[in-house]
Amino acid sequence: MTITLAIIIFTCLVSISALNNTKLMDDLIFYAPAIAQRKQYYRFLSHGFLHADFLHLGFNMFALYSFGQAVETMLYSNECVFESKGKLFYILLYVGALIVASLPDYIRHKDNYNYKSLGASGAVSAVIFAAIALLPQLPIRFFFIPIDIPGYVFGLVYLAISAYLDKRGGGNINHSAHFWGAAFGLIFTFVCGQLFGNMNMIENFTRQIQSFGRLLPFQCN
């Protein structure tokens, strides 16, 4: 079983259980005053396994499955990137994104008793943009658009939509986590790939961008 599939199964179990259990939802949801005053730091992680409804859960898990499998098995396992350390860095990417994507809301809402948020959006965004950092020309196709869109173009559209939804507000879905998770995914992959991998990350990204839609093989150092 891949790490991606294990995360999806666990998230589905927790999310579905919490949708039918108000106490469990309240105990796990991101609630900044509880973190600041009661030191419930686990909420930085636990909120990422909750979702507002089945549509929210399905969308996030479908995106995670689509990109996570590629990042975990095809990209991070490549000998030019992290080799045997790939699974460890994949876990650090996912967990780190959940925390980092929540920090801005923690700072902004630590005294706001009316604000709560949930969802794996920050971590899923990090996985998507980790894939873009490694293979920016990775083709993305929507059901209603019969052509492939380069991953980096999809990423820009994705962030624009997230920014718009964040300004609109409403609900417990943390839309700003999309942006911060995406930023973390890019920075984490570039920095860790450069420091611990076996490839020049900037050179690879430049080559991939200039390939005009073709997926080029990685070049190891």
Whether residue 217 lies inside any domain: the answer is no
Q: Which residue range is the domain that position 42 belongs to?
A: 3-209
The predicted-structure confidence for 54-63, as pLDDT tens digits, reads as follows 988 998 898 8
Residue 191 phi/psi, 5-degree rounding, is -70, -50
DSSP class of residue 217 equals P
94: CATH:
1.20.1540.10
From the list 197, 196, 216, the residue with the least C-alpha distance to 206 is 216
The number of folded domains in the chain is 1
Give CA–CA dist 107/126, Å, rounded: 21
Quote the tokens at residue 107: 């700072």
DSSP class of residue 48 equals G
Whether residue 219 lies inside any domain: the answer is no
Quote the tokens at residue 125: 């965004």
Whether residue 215 lies inside any domain: the answer is no
Distances (CA, A) of 3 to 15, 48, 81, 181, 208: 18, 16, 18, 19, 27
Distant-in-sequence, close-in-space partners of 115: CB < 8 Å, separation ≥ 6: 31, 32, 105, 109
The predicted-structure confidence for 45-54, as pLDDT tens digits, reads as follows 999 999 988 9
Whether residue 221 lies inside any domain: the answer is no
The predicted-structure confidence for 169-207, as pLDDT tens digits, reads as follows 556 666 678 889 999 999 999 999 889 888 899 999 999
